[in-house]
Structures are given as structure tokens and as C-alpha cells.
Amino acid sequence: MQNTSELSASAPLKVLVVDDERTNRMVIEAMLRKMGHESILANSGKEGIEMVLQHRPDMVLMDVMMPEMSGYDAVRELRKLPEGQLPIIFLTALSKAEDIIDGLNAGGDDYLHKPIHYELLKSKIKMVYERRWLLANLAHQNQLLLEYKERLDQDRKTAVRFADRLSARDHINDPAVKFFLQHTEDFGGDLVAAARTPDGQIHALLTDSAGHGLAAALSIFPLVSPFYKMTSKGLDIKVIIAELNARVKEFTTLPNYVTATIVSVNPREGVMEVWNGGSPEAILLAEGKGVIRRFSSTHLPLGILAKDKFDDSVERFDFGKKRCKLVLYSDGLTELPERDGIALDLQSLLGQYEFTSDSFNDIVQYISNAIENQPITDDIALLGISFSKEQDDAELAAIEDIHIQQQQTSANFSEAGLVTSWQVEMTFTAPQLKHLDVVPMLMNITSTIETGGVDAGAFMVLSELFNNALDHGVLKLDSVLKHADDGMAEYYDTRAARLEALEEANIRICVSLIESEQGQWLKLSVHDSGDGFEYEQYQRRGVSENQRHGRGLNLVCSMCDRVEFTDKGASVVAYLPWVTS
């Protein structure tokens, strides 16, 4: 039997004629030959079944009244076989309605009375076969659709797993950061990311791509890797957000864009920076005070402006020593459907944000209750960050302890017998000091030479030395500014203004690895073109717990085996114990 899914409905057929009368078989054979069809002849029901199995015909013309096995019984047996699922027309002299019904119930497709009329037989064959052909073709198409759906489902599952890997949600393992993400489809345009810089600052990102589904997700995937890589190197969020804008601009086209909020929190300094481009306001809460700051959108979303027109300016806020929580969210949270006639109230939601370990989980449960059994129309992203000076001091102490242990396991530092393994020296003038992120760049060189990640202790020590050289030596900033209300914000604003106006200045930095039989040290030398600063006051008086300046220098001295100041503080050399991993 030919494949009916491939055979045309008007093609020549192989027709089995089953009739115990030889004359009837000859007449029908002649008619079929005239129609252009091939005939196979059988003189009994039993032989007809054998012919079906042997020759696989396209159609059967079955007589009803035959000895031994009637046409009805033969068809019933045929229908039990896989090969017997083909068009069958009964040919008989019986004309009662009951006979026709019996034939159809036995499995026949149609009924034709004897004597056989040529044109009527031709029409019946065409009609029955076309019907069978359409059904078979439909079944074939359905099978193709099922196979396509299976492949599509498999591709979707693979894509979802791949998307989960690309979104890197498993990278968020900081106990200070919690998040909730709910997509309307398998793929979503909302993204959350968070990580620490080598010196312990928290960088967080929340984005919302225009649209839904895979198209929206494709706009945010290029942002994940640069965010984490640049954060791990300690780059400033202004540098990171400019790179993310360039990525969206490169990989998407308008009207697609990505709203984003990127945050840098420095608990040690008690200051934070926020860039908001088209996102809902970020909300800062303080323990016992409620909402103390709202960071509204002041920029266009990512991907709209070209590099030369993009604004990377950030909003700074001095939160001091307060115990705080920062909440970022996408507009899907503000567009949640009503439940029992009452829309979700964001202010009430934040009002539940108590300073307990379960507070974020309580909010997530509140949201889950609100959307239960209701379709959401937009992706939902929520990111919460907890921070305080006490929390940062504990994390800072852990980094400091590592290098103190290195000091304890090494011999007393001595310059005798020291050999330089490698050395990198660079001088930065005013143009570079304005635009380069110097410390991450040097630490990246160091980590490349040492074939390892950026060492947190080395990053912190070099950051303190460089910032002292730039802030006090070159820009002549007074750290006392940090003690005023909003002092850190004022300090950074003054710093930015003086740096922008800087014309003549330089800072020379030399990073080298020195070693002897007693151990290895990272030698960090920093010299600035300024007049120096009063470093002796910190060594002489120490730093109080509440003081917001001078703490970094004490940290450097505690982590290093030796710190030497010359040229009234304009030059400093620090020897940090180094253990190659």
C-alpha cells in the first residue's frame, strides 16, 4: 500500500477486488483498468485477507455474501491488523438499511449496490479515497507538528537553562543581598545582579528591558558578564554603567532599550552612589527612621544615547553609621493586578520592611499572595540590600586577619637579600588622573602577572595609598569635611570639582614583587607631586572609633610589615606580605 501522506488523491491505485463470482471480478477489473487503476483479485474473504498482507493494496472492494467467511467478517478481521487500516467499499445486492448499517459497523467506509454502475463506482472510489487521503495526510501533519513541538520544547528547555546560566542569578550569594524575580514567560527582561569589589563595596544592578519574552531577555544578557568582571576588578560604577550602555547600544536597536539602576554602597565610608536611568525610584530605609532617601530617575535608559552623549553622573548620599536597607524594584511591582478590588500599595509593602532577618521573605510572601491565581502582565524584580558600618567592619576585619596571619607566618621583614621578581612602574598626569580608574588597572596587571584573581588586601592597601596621594597630596582636600552633616557627599563633590579643574600634577606608582629566603612581599610605592600631608598625626594620635578619616591609613599599617613615609608624606612605600596561591 502506498503512503497516503505522500500519494496524490488522484493518483492510480492498487485495488483489491474480493468476490466469489468470477464474472463479477472480471467486470470490476475491466472498469478499474479503464479508470487507470491496477487490480488484485481474490475469490474469498480469507484469500482477501492474505492478499492485503501480501500486496498492501490502496483500497478494497469487498463483496458481502461469500461462502465460509462473509465480507463483514473479513473486514472485521482486517480492521484488527495494522495493514487493514485502508479504505474499504462493500459491493452487494443487499439493499436494506439494516444491511448498510451492518456493513458500516463492520468497518466499511461506504456501500455500493450491484449491479455496479461504472460512473458511480468511479465516484465512490474517488470520494472514499480522497476522504481517507485527507485523514491520513492530516494525521501525518499532526505527527509532524507533534515532532516539531517536542523539538521546540527541548530547545525551549535548553534555552531556559542557558538563559539561567547567562543571567548568573546563582552569583548572588552575598548574605547582605536578597532578591525576588518573577517572569511572565519562560524568558524575561528583568535582571538582578550583585557582587563585592575587592575592597568590600557592594555593587548592585537591576534592569528592565522593554518588552517581554526572549526578545527582552536578549537585551539584558550582554550586561551580566561585564558587570561581574568589572566589579571584581574594583572599577567605579560610572565606568561600569558607561560600558553597559555601550553594550545595549551595540546589541539592541530602538525602540528596544533597558531601564537600569546601578548602586555602589561603601559602608566603611558611610556613603553610596546611585545611577537611575528610567527605573522606579530606589528607596533607602534606616532603622527607626523609615524612608530617608528616594533616588528617582535622572537619566535616560541604557541604549538610547551614544557614548559621546551618555551621562554617567551619579547621585551620592551620606548615610553615615545608620543601619540601612536599600530597595530596588522594576515597574512590574507597581503594576500588580488588583485583588479583591484593592491594588497593591507599595508604601504599605515597604512599611512591612522591618529590620529583621525574615523581613525580605515577608515582603516576597506579600507579593506572592497578591498575584496568587492571577496572571501578571509584566515581569517583577525586587532587590534588597542590607548594610551598616558594623557589618562592614566585620568583613574588613576578615580581610585584615588574612594578611595579619601572613605576617605572623613570615619572618621579620628585612631588606637584606631581597630580590625583585617583577616590577611595574607608571606615572599618571592630570589627564589620566581625571579619567582613569587607576587602582583597578594596576591590580588587573598584578593579577595577570601572578595568574590569580585580584587580592582584596592588595587592592585595599593600594587604594588607600593612591587616594591619600590624590586627595591630600594633589587635590589638597581636608578630611575634616567628612564629619559635617552629609559630609561624605560634600567631600566627594569637592573632590570631583577640584579634579576636573586639575591642570598640572602627577602621581608615580610602582608595584613590584620582592622575595628572599624568608618570604615574598608586594612592594607598593606611591609618590605624588603635591606638598605631602600630615600623616604623622594619625600615627601619633591614632584614630577614634567615630572618626571618619584616617582609618584607612591605620588599616594599611596593620596589614603591612612596613610602611615608610618620606617627603613629608608625598612618598610612601608599603610592604605587604604576599602568598602566591
pTM, 2 dp: 0.70
Burial 421-430 (b: 16+ CB within 10 A, else e): eeeeeeebeb
Supply 112's cell numbers.
455500493
Q: Rounded to an integer, what distance in angstroms lies between the CA atom of residue 323 and that of residue 284?
A: 10
The 10 Å Cβ neighbour count of residue 296 is: 11
Question: Domain with 202 in it: what CATH number?
Answer: 3.60.40.10
Contact 218, 251 (CB under 8 A): yes
**345 with 359, same domain?**
yes
Rounded to 5°, the CA angle 234-237-239 comes to 90
* Residues 352, 268 share a domain: yes
Domain-terminating residue out of 387, 402, 432: 387
Mean pLDDT of 166-170: 70
Of 120, 140, 160, which one is at a domain's C-terminal end?
Answer: 140
pLDDT confidence tier of residue 484, bands split at 50, 70 and 90: low
399, 457: one domain? yes
Q: Has residue 549 got a pLDDT over 80? A: no
**Inside any domain, residue 154:** no
Section 369-380 average pLDDT: 75
Sole residue written with cell 551580566: 224
pLDDT score recorded for residue 487 = 63
Contacts 24+ apart (CB under 8 A), 304-308: 304/254, 304/257, 305/245, 305/249, 306/249, 307/242, 307/245, 307/246, 307/249
Q: Has residue 381 been placed in a domain? A: yes
Is residue 161 domain-resident? no
pLDDT at residue 541, rounded to an integer: 43
Same domain, 344 and 487: no
Averaged pLDDT, 229-248: 92
Residue 354: inside a domain, yes or no?
Answer: yes
Q: 344 with 415, same domain?
A: no
Bridge partners, 387 (sequence order): 324
- Over range 222-251, report the average pLDDT: 91
Whether residue 155 lies inside any domain: the answer is no
Of 354, 387, 420, which residue is a domain's last? 387
Terminal C-alpha separation, the chain: 73
Asked if pLDDT for residue 166 goes beyond 90, the answer is: no
Do 131 and 200 have their domain in common? no
Q: Note whether 251 and 130 are same-domain residues.
A: no
Specify whether 231 is located in the same domain as 121.
no
* Same domain as 398, residue 379: no
Query: Is the confidence at residue 367, as pLDDT, over 80?
Result: no
506 has pLDDT over 80:
yes
Examine the pLDDT at 282 and tell me if it is beyond 90: yes
Number of domains in the chain: 3
Flag whether 176 is in a domain.
yes
- Look over the chain and give the mean of its residue pLDDT values, rounded to a whole number: 82
Structure confidence at residue 478 (pLDDT): 78
Residue 236 to residues 264, 396, 462, Cα–Cα distance (Å): 8, 19, 15
The model's confidence at residue 243, banded by pLDDT at 50, 70 and 90, is very high
369 and 437 belong to one structural domain: no
Pick from 308, 302, 320, 312: which is nearest to 237 by CA? Answer: 312
Burial 170-194 (b: 16+ CB within 10 A, else e): eeeeeebbbbbbbbbeebbbbbbbb
Same domain, 202 and 332: yes
Are residue 383 and residue 396 in the same domain, yes or no?
Answer: no
- Per-residue model confidence as pLDDT tens digits over 65-93: 998 899 999 999 999 998 888 899 998 88
Q: Would 242 be classed as within a structural domain?
A: yes
Range of the domain at 56: 14-140
The mean per-residue pLDDT over the stretch 124-138 comes to 82
CATH number, domain of 539, equals 3.30.565.10
Comparing 138-147, 164-173, 493-502, the range with the smallest average pLDDT is 164-173
Look at residue 60 and give its three-state secondary structure. Answer: strand
Angle, helices 71-78/45-55, rounded to nearest 10 degrees: 30
The DSSP code sequence of 506-547 is EEEEEEEEEEETTEEEEEEEEEESS----THHHHHH---TT-
CATH number at residue 31: 3.40.50.2300
- Is 1 part of any domain? no
